[in-house]
Amino acid sequence: MKLLTVLTIEEILELEESIHERLKEDKEYKYDEYVDEADDMDEVPLSLEEYMQEYKRDHHNEYTLDWEHEVEELINERGIAPIYYDKSSGKFYKTQEDIPDTVKQDDIKVVDPMLQFRAARIWNELRRGNYSGSVEGALEVFIAKEFGLDLTVATEISSWNVLTGFIKPKMDALSGEELFYLILKALIGIRNSGINAYIQTAARMACNN
């Protein structure tokens, strides 16, 4: 079944590939300089892929923000629209016209394309079994952007991974679509509850484990 969101899982993966290619092109000029320096010192240079991996490791924050910027640009280029979430019923709607008249406007939350993208990325990484690393990376940027935190601080907070602690026990019982919506609802919940509530939840989960 195709996901209700305007941004389907297939489009997310295609978008990710486009972003990686654009970032690679952006870093190739630095790679050329690196190869010239290696030749001058009679050293064997790394391949471009190896260089990119080292760059991501050594310049994590810079790379993450570059990646975030590319996502925003591609979403704008493709004109991807927000969807709507009714917090009282837990239902999602594709357009405002789809929302029944009986739903209170105060119960409606706008789910922007970037949040859909984050949920789909996390869904995909969880599906692959990557409970830390990639999921924490996606979560740390979300926390930094939502609450205006430095990425270093957000990295520390996201390592207390409330999201996977909450979702992993439910994964086997849920279909792909249901799991995606659970992740999306979790991100909406983090956004609405605030950073202090996230930290308190993380602390409670740590005490219970």
> Please, is 22 exposed, middle or buried when counting C-beta atoms within 10 Å of its C-beta (0-12, 13-18, 19+)?
middle
Q: Which two tokens stand for residue 63?
A: 């790379």
Report how far residue 209's alpha carbon sits from residue 207's, in angstroms, rounded to the nearest whole number: 6
**How would you write the pLDDT of the chain (209 residues) with one tens digit per residue?**
344 444 565 666 676 677 667 666 766 667 788 788 888 878 888 887 787 777 766 666 666 667 677 777 877 877 777 889 998 998 888 888 999 999 998 999 888 888 888 887 777 777 776 655 566 667 777 777 777 777 677 766 665 566 666 676 777 777 777 788 888 888 888 888 787 877 777 666 656 55
Q: Do 70 and 22 touch, CB atoms closer than 8 A?
A: yes
Amino acid letter for position 130: N
Q: What is the pTM of this model?
A: 0.67
